[in-house]
Amino acid sequence: MSTQTIRTHELANGLTLIVESMPAVQSAAFSLLVPGGSLFDPPGKNGSAALLCDLLTRGAGELGNVELSEALDDLGLSRHENVGNTHISFSGASLATNLPAALEIYGDILRRPHLPEEHFEPVREGVRQSLQSVEDEPRQKVMVELRRHTYDAPWGLPSDGSLEDLPRLSIQTTREHYERCFRPNGTILGIAGNVEFERMVDVVERVFGDWVPKADPEFETSPPAPSPAHLEHESEQTHIGVAYRAVPFRDPQYYAAWAAVSVLSGGMSSRLFTEVREKRALCYAVYAGLRSLKDEARVLCYAGTTNERAQETLDVMLRELVRLGEGIKQDELERSKALAKSALIMQQESSSSRASSIAGDWFHLKRNRTLDEIREKIDSLTVDSVLDYVHEHPARDFTLVTIGPEALRVEGQMD
């Protein structure tokens, strides 16, 4: 058993700090989740959070755009910003001795950003080019559309925004998004590495302790776009996206759900790869993944194939999804467990992975899982327990999105 120690501290303003001490490493990393993601984009202005995410690091506190980047580079900080449905996230890793100084700078980024108007158009152009690259890549586009057709809005809307809404955004929209959403209550800060808990509490209290909380912003919801959906695209390939319901991360059966998907799509011995690609040579790519929001989840599947074999590819893929309920072999489950344990070992050695994991755990579970707990959950999986899950949550009621010359159909479900 490991001696892993994870401790939490909640500031009076609602910010939650989680610290995992890793004495064997020299690095330290943080994962900072601020509840201001694309869920809070104003109606008709999808992309507001994406623009804000970029603008936040264009100057803050007493540092301008160039000075801020240089200050973080001087600390040797490997950093990343990302916008998701629920959060705008900031992550970074450096030598442990440099982490307090990095957190000081991020205190300015979160609390005193410049959001300079002169940078707005270059940022919007960068987002536009990124969105256009997705439009030009059907393999990515079909999965973006699949989420839009399977989840209620705004959960199904692309967190990076849309080309349609981008012209409606302005520097004022971006600044209003910041004022509405950025707040300490609901913010989660995960820190992992060669750090001491008490020292991190002191730093975070000093940097964020007087940040004033705000009321949680509201957002409107609407049903997902209808399914099946087909986007006509004249090419020699057809891209297929399929989704069906699963259980979210916080559900007691989540590990069984993960194992079921891993049997389908966990490596080159998995069923989808073997049955759809290797045995029948129907497609050049096929996979499935479990994607969990806080309150619901889906299995999202992709296949890319030639137009002539597109309907057959879809039929065989769906047949494999349904056939999982007919039985799982012990060696299939053991391979899935081995892959998971390998990932755990690598995560245990990475302060960045641990910081991200403990912050995510707190968001989904309001508690933290140790690596030993995860390992025990994986070890406890049996063929019967995974099949029980599959029978309770069978692959059915599929959402289908296709891109190609001709639409496809799910036999017996869509007329």
Does residue 279 register a pLDDT over 70? yes
pLDDT over 50 at 1, yes or no: no
Superfamily of domain 5-208: Metalloenzyme, LuxS/M16 peptidase-like (3.30.830.10)
Average of per-residue pLDDT across 99-110 = 98
| pLDDT exceeds cutoff 70 at 415 | no
Model confidence at 414: pLDDT above 60: no
Work out the average pLDDT over 19-33. 96
Examine the pLDDT at 145 and tell me if it is beyond 70: yes
pLDDT digits (tens, 9 = 90+) for 354-402: 999 999 999 999 999 988 999 999 999 999 999 999 999 999 999 999 9
What is the average pLDDT across 233-251? Answer: 96
Structure tokens, 99? 């982490």
Tell me whether domains 5-208 and 229-404 share a fold: yes
Domain 229-404 sits in which CATH superfamily? Metalloenzyme, LuxS/M16 peptidase-like (3.30.830.10)
**pLDDT tens digits for 331-364?**
999 999 998 888 888 777 799 999 999 999 999 9
The pLDDT mean for the chain works out to 95
Question: How far is residue 106 from each of residues 59, 255, 258, measured CA to CA in Å?
Answer: 11, 35, 35
pTM of this structure: 0.94
Where do the domains of the chain lie? 5-208, 229-404
Strand order in the sheet with 5-10: 5-10, 16-21, 188-193, 27-34, 88-95, 78-83
Kindly state the average pLDDT of the residues 163-186.
97
- What's the pLDDT at 266? 85
Share of the chain above pLDDT 90, in %: 91
Tell me what the mean pLDDT of segment 67-78 comes to. Answer: 98
In angstroms, the CA 412 to CA 314 distance is 13
Q: How far apart are CA 115 and CA 118, in angstroms?
A: 9
Band of the pLDDT at 11, cuts 50, 70, 90? Answer: very high
Looking at per-residue pLDDT, the higher value among 268 and 125 belongs to 125
